[in-house]
Amino acid sequence: VFDEVCETTGVTLTRFMIEVAMLNPELSELPSLFSGIETACKAISNMVKRSQLTGLTGYAEGGGSINVQGEEQKTLDIMTNDVLKRALRFTGKLGVLASEEEDTPVDVEPSSKEVMFDETSKYVAVFDPLDGSSNVDAGIPTGTIFGIFDHDEECVVEGEPEGLSEAEMVCLTNTLKPGTDLVASGYCLYSSSCFFVMTVGCGVYGFTLDESIGEFVLTHPNIKIPETSKIYSFNEANLPQWDAPMRETVEKWRVGEGKSGNRFSSRYIGSMVGDVHRTLLYGGVFGYPSDTKNKNGKLRLLYEGAPMSYLMEQAGGLSSTGTKRVMEITPDEVHQRVPIVMGSKGDVQEVLDAYKAAG
């Protein structure tokens, strides 16, 4: 019966996750968490799609709502954050959640301590609920990025950071983990199709939302990024301020004088999920490098850099700051930024070689 269903629907994300859990008993609680994320993404996809009709455009409450990073929050930033929190609250598998739109990590249940120390609270989730939201009013693609870590119940806080409750301190240390500790990561891209792309550490799998049955269906099994490319994807207006190795490599690519001899094209959406999705499928190099003004670039390590780097590496690509593997960096704080260059192995390696040569 199961196979008959599958012949009609294709392999759904739900079925895929059940099979992952059957083959990997240590991941047996992951499907319910994925089910919460998947449901939230479907709801967010609808909110984004209908935002022009429902008045969910523009800044929150007539302006003035600023997140902890000093960015003005859009109505959809706040609403999508709530959708995710609510969807995960009742999975019973999540202890702590950190998000771009929350000042500090939060527990997902009102009775925080009970749930956080409940042995079923197995995971910590980190999110950017609506990445690229500044583009949404113009109908440009946006996305949700997520990463999942194990919940470390033994974790002890050293010192007493001022202004944080005991619960918040436990939360905090639970989220400050390097990408190498990720159990799973992924994104949902809201675009011409709604794509859900994920990894649990054995390749990258892409699903497309079939709206006629309301399910994500496997359309891109085992995504592998091409080894070299002809596309770069940066906010090139910042090029004069980049580190010399980054700047010089891109200048060579422009004129076909890089290692591959390819003359590169530029493609930049300004929405990380869209730019990374294209990079995974067509090959290319995406990045937000360090510049003289922003030493750590713009992207956030915990809920943008690390989850996307995990996907990129699992697809056979590389992700680096130029001198360090992004996956190996342990954040000192939740909203820490990190310079990033990621994508096709051969081309990213060329950037790394340039940094090395520059000492």
- Say whether 191 sits in a helix, a strand or coil: coil
**CA quadruple 173, 178, 183, 185: dihedral positive or negative?**
positive
- Burial of residue 180 (number of CB atoms within 10 Å: 0-12, 13-18, 19+): middle
Q: Is 277 in the site for ligand AFP (CB under 6 A)?
A: no
Distance (Å, whole) CA 8 – CA 184: 28
Choosing from 272, 338, 348, 354, the residue that interacts with ligand AFP (CB under 6 A) is 272
Choosing from 122, 277, 298, 345, the residue that interacts with ligand AFP (CB under 6 A) is 298
> Closest CB to ligand AFP among 272 and 280?
272
Q: Is 139 in the site for ligand AFP (CB under 6 A)?
A: no
Segment 309-313 long-range contacts (CB within 8 Å, at least 24 positions apart): 309/179, 309/340, 309/342, 310/147, 310/179, 310/182, 310/185, 310/199, 310/201, 311/185, 311/186, 311/187, 311/197, 311/198, 311/199, 311/204, 311/276, 311/280, 312/225, 312/276, 312/279, 312/280, 312/342, 312/343
Q: Is 173 in the site for ligand AFP (CB under 6 A)?
A: no
Distance (Å, whole) CA 116 – CA 123: 10
CA 259 to chain centre: 30
> Closest CB to ligand AFP among 144 and 174?
144
Site mask, ligand AFP, residues 197-236, x = CB under 6 A?
--------------------------------------x-
Contact segment (CB under 6 A) with ligand AFP among 36-44, 125-133, 197-205, 330-338 equals 125-133
Cβ density class 228-248: b for 16+ within 10 Å, e for less: bbbbbbbeeebeeebbebbbb
Q: Nearest approach, Cβ of 27 to ligand AFP (angstroms)?
A: 29
Q: Tell me which residue has tokens 């995960």.
A: 88
* Tokens coding 134: 């500044």
Q: Is 294 in the site for ligand AFP (CB under 6 A)?
A: no
Contact segment (CB under 6 A) with ligand AFP among 131-139, 179-187, 318-326, 351-359 equals 131-139
Choosing from 131, 215, 243, 291, the residue that interacts with ligand AFP (CB under 6 A) is 131
Choosing from 193, 222, 270, 292, the residue that interacts with ligand AFP (CB under 6 A) is 270
- Say whether 344 sits in a helix, a strand or coil: coil
> Closest CB to ligand AFP among 221 and 270?
270
Q: Is 177 in the site for ligand AFP (CB under 6 A)?
A: no
Choosing from 35, 249, 271, 279, the residue that interacts with ligand AFP (CB under 6 A) is 271
Q: Is 99 in the site for ligand AFP (CB under 6 A)?
A: no
Contact segment (CB under 6 A) with ligand AFP among 49-57, 271-279, 307-315, 331-339 equals 271-279
Residues that bind ligand AFP (CB under 6 A): 71, 131-135, 235, 270-272, 275, 288, 298-299
